[in-house]
Amino acid sequence: MRAVLGNPKAMRRELGRLYVPVKRLRGLIEGTSFGSTYVVPMLFLGLAFSDIRSDPRSPYDDLLGQAVLIVLGLWIFTLLLTQRLSLVRRRFWGSAVGFTTWWISSWLSNLSDFLNGTSDDLWNAVFLTLWPFFIGYYLWSTWHEDRRLRHTLALVGGAQL
């Protein structure tokens, strides 16, 4: 068997790059993502919007309020785009988009505090600068995880999942 597949550790690592682990796939099949897909993003978008619209108002609040509404629109648009996917991939993308929406709304809320002058420490500035890179990396890794999920579903005949 070693002559055909090679080193077991190397083979496990290479297969891990192509396919989703069984435990993760089982969680996507059996679990639900209602809270992370719908409840949490709406809650945090509402909190970010109320934080931006609170007193004292800054000249940037209207722009940040519009940014929250744009994020809300993109969240709804993405959920509509994923409706044609299989249930497993829809759960996967729903929770990923919900988590991303939560991150962006937290970033916008902190940006509002920073621009209003209520939080002007160095760590907040570092957070505001680096957070978009973390969001971008998360979306990039989510895209690759979806590729692995598609390979796994094709292997197990998961078109009906």
Q: The dihedral of CA 34, 36, 38, 43: what is its sign?
A: positive
Q: Please tell me the distance from the alpha carbon of residue 14 to that of residue 85, in angstroms, as a whole number.
A: 26
| H/E stretch holding 41 | helix 40-52
Distance between CA atoms of residues 124 and 82, nearest Å: 34
Position 137 scores a pLDDT of 94
Q: What is the pTM of this model?
A: 0.73
pLDDT at residue 56, rounded to an integer:
60
Q: Above 70 in pLDDT, residue 94?
A: yes
pLDDT at position 2 over 60: no
pLDDT band at 20 (very low <50, low <70, confident <90, very high): confident
